[in-house]
């Protein structure tokens, strides 16, 4: 069963809504409030006061968790809490890249021509084996969603070339987008990703399938 990102997202929005009055007071929403007042011709002080006192306005002006990398952070939390996961690292600053089955430091990538380099999102150790993962959460179809799907495919293509020992690469695809059919093909997008992986050192899965997959690989 897929992880319920949407319920977790709504809860994160509630937390941000509760925090909105403080964010207004500390000036964290100044630009958003200024733009709103300029567009509608409202008095800024009056708007700031209303936001702090009105729950509905607090929700409207609350920080969007999606813009705070919510889905990436939620995936990281889920992986890190799996029993036997050690040395977990969220590589959100693109510290490591995957090229032709090799894992390279960002400094190496920046010093050479590696057009096929793909970023690695997470790294961890599980029962003595090292895991690298690319994670995408995609809710519905569209241009950027198609780009995320393409990124996962390219991650798998590059990972399939690896010769690293005791190392696995996982493409984690979450969200309704990956449960839908892959174009005119009679298979879902998540199944398409699974079929692309060499199933020796490279796999695709939903995040709820990850623990079981790692158990099978390391037993």
Quote the CA–CA distance of 170 and 158 in Å, as a whole number. Answer: 12
Name the CATH code of domain 69-218 (choices 3.40.1350, 3.40.1130, 3.30.1360, 3.90.660): 3.40.1350
Is a pLDDT exceeding 60 seen at residue 143? no
pLDDT mean across residues, the chain: 93
Quick one: average pLDDT of 134-142? Answer: 84
Residues spanned by CATH 3.40.1350 within the chain?
A: 69-218
Query: Quick check: 144 pLDDT over 80?
Result: no
Q: Are 151 and 204 in contact (CB under 8 A)?
A: no
pLDDT at 145 over 70: no
DSSP secondary structure string for all residues of the chain = ----HHHHHHHHHHHHHHHHHHHHHTTTTHHHHHHHHHHHT--HHHHHHHHHH-HHHHHHHSPPGGGGTHHHHHHHHHHHTSTTEEEEEE-TT--EEEETTEEEEHHHHHHS--TT-EE--EEEEETTEEEEEEEEE--S-SHHHHHHHHHHHHHHHHHTT---TTEEEEEEEESGGGGSB-TTSSSBHHHHHHHHS-SSSEEEE-GGGHHHHHHHHH-
For the chain, the farthest-separated pair of C-alpha atoms sits apart, in whole angstroms, at 65
Q: What percent of the chain has pLDDT over 90?
A: 84
How far apart, in Å, are the Cα atoms of 98 and each of 45, 123, 194?
50, 12, 18
Tokens for 48? Answer: 């700031």
84-123 per-position pLDDT tens digit: 999 999 997 778 999 999 999 888 887 677 888 999 999 9
Q: What's the whole-model pTM score?
A: 0.89
Which two three-digit tokens encode residue 88?
A: 């977990």
């Amino acid at each position: 069963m897929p992880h319920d990102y949407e319920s977790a997202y709504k809860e994160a929005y509630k937390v941000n809504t509760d925090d909105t009055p403080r964010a207004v007071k500390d000036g964290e929403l100044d630009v958003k409030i200024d733009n709103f007042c300029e567009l509608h011709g409202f008095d800024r002080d009056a708007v700031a006061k209303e936001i702090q006192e009105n729950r509905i306005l607090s929700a409207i002006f609350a920080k969007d968790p999606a813009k705070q990398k919510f889905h990436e952070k939620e995936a990281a939390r889920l992986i890190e809490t799996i029993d036997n996961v050690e040395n977990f690292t969220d590589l959100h600053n693109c510290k490591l890249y995957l090229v032709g089955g090799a894992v390279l430091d960002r400094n190496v990538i920046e010093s050479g021509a590696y057009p096929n380099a793909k970023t690695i999102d997470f790294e961890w150790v599980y029962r003595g084996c090292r895991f690298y993962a690319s994670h995408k959460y995609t809710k519905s179809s569209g241009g950027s969603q198609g780009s995320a799907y393409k990124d996962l495919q390219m991650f798998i293509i590059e990972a399939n070339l690896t010769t690293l020992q005791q190392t696995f690469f996982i493409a984690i695809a979450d969200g309704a987008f990956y449960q839908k059919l892959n174009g005119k093909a009679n298979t879902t997008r998540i199944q398409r990703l699974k079929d692309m992986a060499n199933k020796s050192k490279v796999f695709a899965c939903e995040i709820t399938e990850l623990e079981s997959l790692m158990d099978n690989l390391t037993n």
